[in-house]
Amino acid sequence: MQIHFTKLSGAGNDFIVIDNRNQSVHLSTAQINAMCTRRTGIGADGLILIEPSQRFDFSMNYYNADGLPGSMCGNGGRCAVYFAHSTGVPSADQGRYSFEANGNRYEAEITGHETVRLHMLDPEDFRNAVAIEGFSCHYVNTGSPHVVIYIDNRKLEDLDVYGFGKAIRLRSDVFPEGTNVNFLEITAPDSISLRTFERGVEDETLACGTGAVAAALMSFRLGKVSSSTVKVNVRSGDTLEVAFSEDLNSVTLTGPAKIIYRGIAEVQNDGL
């Protein structure tokens, strides 16, 4: 079957977005995984179905590249809203969208050329400094589970993010549901550099929105940054901005969301 899709990039975190408002597209785990696989498929960190919602402008159904439903994707949410805006999905409020994802309500607005600000959930379940695989691991759930690790004596650039990230992600004794793993360096009182190993992609990605939020909130909480607006420099070279109140609520994530191309995929019954 043929499926119309749009490829978007949210600060280098890339997604296949499908307008499924008529609910004609039904994809299996294997089909989503095949579409997201690089070289043999379209290639993406995740796939998003834009579907109807009873209460909001649309519903975002997010799948990781492994084909399984993911938890909240911050960059995916920003891309979904940019897609909706550029495709003419109606919104109740001009330039502003409300949508549901993982049973939660989100709001976002277009703040400039190819720029989207997404309002995030309040963070939950902060855990400080658990020793895992030789690292001091801080933890917080920002819609997705995130470990935050400060790289004090090493260079972020040279770090084996894949190896260390995977080892921590696989520690099911500590994280029965798995976790995303973020490694960061504080570069100024209001900025950090971040690299993320993502669960469900099972690799380092070029950016991770809920990871940027976790890194910024944790850094403020631990007194490592002093500003409640934090610039997060990600692997793609882009910058995400995370802003929040001093009690770590009212969190927003702002950054680039771009359409790369639109296409038609030939999807086989058992994969691409």
DSSP letter string over 174-201?
T-TT--EEEEEEEEETTEEEEEEEETTT
Residue 146 CB, nearest distance to ligand API (Å)? Answer: 8
Q: Which region among 19-27, 29-37, 72-80, 256-264 touches ligand API (by CB under 6 A)? A: 72-80
Distance CA 180, CA 198 (A): 5
Report how far Cα 258 is from the mean position of its chain's Cα atoms: 14
* Residue 108 makes contact with ligand API by CB under 6 A: no
- Does 110 engage in binding with ligand API (CB under 6 A)? no
Choose which of 161, 208, 217, 225 interacts with ligand API (CB under 6 A): 208
Sign (positive or negative) of CA dihedral 87, 90, 94, 98 = negative
Q: Does 9 bind ligand API (CB under 6 A)?
A: no
Strand partners, 139: 127, 147
Tell me whether residue 71 or residue 98 sits nearer to ligand API (CB atom).
Answer: 71
Task: For the segment 188-207, give every residue that binds ligand API (CB under 6 A).
Answer: 198-200
Task: Decide if 161 contacts 149 (C-beta within 8 A).
Answer: no
Q: Of the ranges 21-29, 65-73, 216-224, 255-263, which one interacts with ligand API (CB under 6 A)? A: 65-73
Of 71, 191, 193, 252, which one interacts with ligand API (CB under 6 A)? 71
- Look at the alpha carbons of 236, 5, 65, 128 in this order and tell me if their dihedral is positive or negative: positive
137 is catalytic: no
Look at phi and psi of residue 21 and say left if phi exceeds 0, alpha if psi is from -120 to 50, else beta.
Answer: alpha
Ligand-binding annotation for 209, yes or no, is yes
Of the residues 144, 228, 233, 254, which one makes contact with ligand API according to CB under 6 A: 144
What residues numbered 221-240 form the site for ligand API, per CB under 6 A? Answer: none
31 binds ligand API (CB under 6 A): no
CA gap 128, 55 in Å, rounded: 37
Q: Residues 36, 79, 137, 208: which is the catalytic one?
A: 208
State yes or no: 51 annotated in a binding site. no
Shortest spacing between CB 206 and ligand API, in angstroms: 10
- Consult the annotation and say whether 180 binds a ligand: yes
Structure tokens at 225: 């940054």
DSSP characters for 67-115?
SSBPS--HHHHHHHHHHHHHHT---SBTTEEEEEETTEEEEEEEEETTE
Which residue numbers are catalytic? Answer: 73, 208
Residues of the shown chain interacting with ligand API in the complex, contacts defined by CB under 6 A: 13, 64, 70-71, 73-76, 144, 180, 198-200, 208-210
